[in-house]
Amino acid sequence: MLGKSKEVKDVAVPVSRPRATGEKTIITKDISIEGKIRGKEDLVIEGTVKGSIQLEGHHLTIGPNGQVEAEVIAENLTISGRLVGNIKALGKVEITKEANFNGEIRAKHLSVEDGAYLKAMIELDPHHKDKAEPTDEPLKQKDYKAKPTYGPLKQKGYGDEAPHDLASVSDKGK
């Protein structure tokens, strides 16, 4: 998926009309569309779209310049721009830290980078449980590694106990 996004970036040139590459259509930043979009290939939006978007079985990418107000149905979505509306994804929704989203999300999987703005109502498929991907930048920085809340305990020499799980900790306080 990331490879595909990179491919789009490589071929994108400033033209003022939607372009179809071999695999996907790109709505570039000078294009505005109002109405209903239905398609059977991947779509990248860097422009402005109002209405509805239906891409069953395909991937919708809203790039950093994309401004979308729409009801969206797609297999997978990547949001890096602004989206106001409701999403129904049969697969995964990825929201990057540049994204600004306001609406409802119904999906099997959701990954959200720290720093994204969300005002959302989220419903995930409870039967599709996957491990959260490490997506946030601060984790990668040497000086700001995520640390367990029990880290200071070990530094102070209180022992080498493993971190407690949330439930057992809460139970202790009852």
CB of 51 to other proteins, least distance (A): 25
CB of 96 to other proteins, least distance (A): 10
Of the pair 10, 165, the CB lying nearest other proteins is at 165
CB of 87 to other proteins, least distance (A): 13
Q: Which residues contact 80 (CB under 8 A, 6 or more apart)?
A: 61, 62, 63, 64, 66, 96, 98, 99
62-65 contacts: CB < 8 A, separation 24 or more? 62/99, 64/98, 65/29
Of the pair 41, 136, the CB lying nearest other proteins is at 136
Of the pair 45, 112, the CB lying nearest other proteins is at 112
Sign of the dihedral defined by the CA atoms of residues 47, 85, 77, 56, in that order: negative
Residues that bind other proteins in the complex, under the rule CB under 8 A: 110-124, 126, 129, 132-133, 135-139, 141, 144, 146-153, 158, 163, 165-167, 169-170, 172-174
CB-based contact 119:109 (threshold 8 Å): no
Of the pair 19, 88, the CB lying nearest other proteins is at 88
Rounded CA separation 15/141 (Å): 38
